[in-house]
Amino acid sequence: MPLFRPVLSLFYLLPIIFLPSFCSAADPYASYEFRVSYITASPLGVPQKVIAVNGNFPGPPINVTTNYNVAVNVWNDLDENLLMTWSGIQMRRNSWHDGVLGTNCPIPPKWNWTYQFQVKDQIGSFFYFPSINFQKASGGFGPFVINNRDIIPIPFAQPEGDIFIMIGDWFTRDHAALRADLSAGKELGIPDGVLINGKGPYQYNATLVPAGIQYETIRVHPGKTYRLRVHNVGISTSLNFRIQSHNMLLAETEGHYTVMQNYTDFDIHVGQSYSFLVTMDQNASTDYYVVASARFVNESLWQKVTGVAILQYSNSKGPATGPLPDPPNDFYDKERSMNQARSVRQNVSASGARPNPQGSFHYGQINVTQTYLLKSEPLVTINKTTRATFNGISFIPPKTPIRLADQHKVKGAYKLDFPDRPLNRTPRADISIIDAAYKGFIEVIFQNNDSIIHSVHLDGYSFFVVGMGYGDWSEDLRGSYNKWDAITRSTSQVYPGAWTAVLISLDNVGVWNLRAENLDRWYLGQETYLRIVNPEENGKTEMAAPSNVLYCGALQSLQKEQHHGNANSIFKGHSKLFITLLMALLNVAFLHS
Ligand SMILES: *[C@@H]1O[C@H](CO)[C@@H](O)[C@H](O)[C@H]1NC(C)=O
Ligand SMILES: *[C@@H]1O[C@H](CO)[C@@H](O)[C@H](O)[C@H]1NC(C)=O
Ligand SMILES: *[C@@H]1O[C@H](CO)[C@@H](O)[C@H](O)[C@H]1NC(C)=O
Ligand SMILES: *[C@@H]1O[C@H](CO)[C@@H](O)[C@H](O)[C@H]1NC(C)=O
Ligand SMILES: *[C@@H]1O[C@H](CO)[C@@H](O)[C@H](O)[C@H]1NC(C)=O
Ligand SMILES: *[C@@H]1O[C@H](CO)[C@@H](O)[C@H](O)[C@H]1NC(C)=O
Ligand SMILES: *[C@@H]1O[C@H](CO)[C@@H](O)[C@H](O)[C@H]1NC(C)=O
Ligand SMILES: *[C@@H]1O[C@H](CO)[C@@H](O)[C@H](O)[C@H]1NC(C)=O
Ligand SMILES: *[C@@H]1O[C@H](CO)[C@@H](O)[C@H](O)[C@H]1NC(C)=O
Ligand SMILES: *[C@@H]1O[C@H](CO)[C@@H](O)[C@H](O)[C@H]1NC(C)=O
């Protein structure tokens, strides 16, 4: 019996394997067709417009192995522009397919566009989501797994299987209504709930949860160990994740193996991904609750903002009953959550994507070439509109993507003047980015002066999270940095009134988005880009613009109209794909026989 897995249709479950034209021909190739469209769903009992991928919410998993060449042909069946981005996937030398407005022109409605990238030297748990127009608040996200190659051992026994768990805060208003509120300067308010895999809470309490809501059931076998890949795909709420009566053995975060430790509950901030190994070691006298509840909020006001799924053993003797497992009781204890974050450390003797220990890169001994202090403050008003800032600058996405503007010598597309520390001046809105030195080793300190927990995320890279603390950062705090086994990841929390310090080795040429992952803050301008260019442009450190590159802004006139296929030809496309797939499978079977 297979374990839990979203219902999938065959053509995207199995990647197609053939030789690509666009990159390393020696490595396998996996291709996916993603149709992004609206469906009506009622995750919290109220019918609403939801964004589905191939008719599914959440979308289907992308499941590939290190060094695969991946192609995802995205069809925009929405009524507005779309870009898909790949959270945590490093896009080596290839910011052309990163799917954010600074690097890509948006895909217009009724058009399709193929993302092509190699998942070079990466392993672990990631996800994809639509990056513009606040669409992530209506869905469009799904898991993205990169498996180890067979020659690389994983630092634990092979689990029985993978279980994907996508948790996130949710509103019954759709993304268009939410962004209208933000543009009008309104707060979004308390979310209407938390979804687990696109479903509302199990009715654990008839006062709090109405009857008739479809909830997620995770089916498992007693005695087995599963790898739970948990992602916070929500808008802005930090969630505490826990499973009744079960320990969660932390094993990996955003592509790096951790020192394995048991937790009874774990704080997962917006945009973060974790793997936990969970052994089904209970007696199945009942089913068990799986809970994701809002963190650091007034419980009496936020009671409904709790996701509840069911963990069901194959020998279960009955439904889960009684109260949910307790959340951490630390509303006034600022240290517990931060200490838990500090306890996430890299297993420096485990192999990463390559057959060498993860810790063989002695980051603690490298001299920092530049320091950036990025301060976020509470929302400000600029030109009568509500905006969010880093260092007093609220980012305006460029009309022409940055590297495309470089290549076509478009003047004034952006400014390279992002300040490396907060300046005491009036906040402004600008297309201001960071001119970061190729091969530099930089220190970035995020200082959160806002009143909410922030998640900060960098595309194209993993960073070493070397320290966090309350109060204002100062140079003498460098002495407290973890210079040995800091975790490497792409998304870190920054507690309100606190700082988080990260170190980044700038070895990936391109233009990379640095942002507040909190969707509202990001939407209101709390982002910038790192522009990393090899001064000796030799055609090796950065890929050329892809042949299907879209043009917009100052280069709009270069864009050819796209002739849209009708539904019929698309269907034909799928059957063709299906045949290719069968042939590929036969090939694989043949090669392995
Ligand atoms: C992902 O792919 C791996 C390797 O091909 C396979 O073993 C695994 O079962 C797949 N997982 C899912 C959830 O499809
Ligand atoms: C759109 O899809 C078609 C059919 O699969 C494909 O040939 C074409 O390359 C895609 N267009 C772009 C711009 O990627
Ligand atoms: C670290 O990885 C090694 C090598 O795979 C493994 O044997 C060890 O158990 C791991 N240690 C911890 C503390 O997780
Ligand atoms: C259900 O929740 C309400 C509101 O918090 C609470 O008063 C009540 O005791 C709960 N009922 C049960 C059976 O736990
Ligand atoms: C984690 O907890 C399980 C029981 O749920 C136990 O068997 C295991 O030894 C623990 N592992 C560690 C590293 O503490
Ligand atoms: C099953 O485990 C629960 C909780 O640990 C315990 O209260 C209960 O008595 C056990 N039931 C059986 C039949 O062993
Ligand atoms: C939580 O909200 C309730 C209801 O508005 C209020 O009475 C209570 O004082 C709040 N608690 C805290 C700790 O702010
Ligand atoms: C780092 O800087 C120190 C002092 O400037 C210097 O002595 C040392 O050699 C440098 N280390 C490396 C690895 O470059
Ligand atoms: C306000 O808007 C005007 C006109 O769009 C622009 O010229 C000006 O620079 C803006 N001011 C700020 C502070 O961004
Ligand atoms: C923000 O900065 C002000 C001025 O330094 C300080 O008074 C306030 O406590 C800070 N708030 C947070 C949440 O950091």
Query: pLDDT per residue over 38-67, tens digit each?
Result: 999 999 999 999 999 999 999 999 999 999
Ligand sitting nearest the alpha carbon of 331: 7
DSSP string across 391-407:
TTEEE---SS-HHHHHH
C-alpha closest to that of 167 among 226, 91, 218, 221: 218
pLDDT of residue 569: 41
Q: How confident is the model at residue 357 (pLDDT cuts 50, 70, 90)?
A: confident
Q: Do domains 10-342 and 362-533 have the same CATH topology?
A: yes
When mean pLDDT is compared across 214-228, 279-293, 321-335, 445-459, the lowest value belongs to: 321-335
367 Cβ below 6 A of ligand 8: yes
The arithmetic mean of pLDDT across residues 523-540, rounded, is 94
147 Cβ below 6 A of ligand 10: no
Q: Which atom of ligand 2 is nearest to the CA of 112?
A: 1
pLDDT of residue 563: 74
Supply angle C-alpha 110, 548, 83, rounded to 5.
50
The arithmetic mean of pLDDT across residues 425-442, rounded, is 97
Alpha-carbon distance 220 to 163, whole Å? Answer: 10
Q: Which atom of ligand 5 is nearest to the CA of 247?
A: 5
Helix (H), strand (E) counts: the chain: 7, 33
CA of 103 to the centre of ligand 2 (A): 19
Neighbouring C-alpha atoms within 13 Å toward the C-beta of 579: 5
When mean pLDDT is compared across 107-121, 159-173, 323-337, 467-481, the lowest value belongs to: 323-337
Whether residue 19 has pLDDT greater than 50? no
Whether residue 580 has pLDDT greater than 80? no
Q: Which CATH class is domain 10-342?
A: mainly beta
pTM of the predicted protein model:
0.92
Residues with CB under 6 A from ligand 3: 155, 259-260, 347, 349-350
State both tokens at 72: 């995802």
State both tokens at 156: 């634990």
| H-type alpha helices, 351-395 | none
**Domain 362-533 in CATH 3.40.50.10800:** no
pLDDT of residue 565: 54
Give, using CA atoms, the residue closest to atom 5 of ligand 9. 383
Whether residue 10 has pLDDT greater than 90? no
Whether residue 581 has pLDDT greater than 60? no
Give, using CA atoms, the residue closest to atom 5 of ligand 3. 155
Rounded percentage of the chain residues whose pLDDT exceeds 70: 91
Alpha-carbon distance 552 to 62, whole Å? Answer: 29
Q: 317 exposed, middle or buried (CB, 10 Å; 0-12, 13-18, 19+)?
A: exposed
pLDDT of residue 564: 67
For residue 341, how far is the Cα from the chain centroid?
18
- String of b and e for 491-514 (b: at least 16 CB within 10 Å)? bbbbbbebbbbbbbbbebbbbbbb
Place of tokens 């700038």: 506
Q: How confident is the model at residue 584 (pLDDT cuts 50, 70, 90)?
A: very low
- Residue-wise pLDDT tens digits, 163-212: 999 999 999 999 999 999 999 999 999 999 999 999 999 999 999 999 99
Alpha-carbon distance 343 to 337, whole Å? Answer: 10
Q: How confident is the model at residue 361 (pLDDT cuts 50, 70, 90)?
A: confident
Alpha-carbon distance 363 to 136, whole Å? Answer: 34
- Residue-wise pLDDT tens digits, 511-524: 999 999 999 999 99
Rounded percentage of the chain residues whose pLDDT exceeds 90: 86
Domain regions of the chain by residue span: 10-342, 362-533
* Contact by Cβ (8 Å): 58, 166: yes
* Contact by Cβ (8 Å): 347, 155: yes
3-state secondary structure 36-97: EEEEEECCCCCCEEEEEECCECCCCCEEEECCCEEEEEEEECCCCCECEEEECCCCCCCHHH
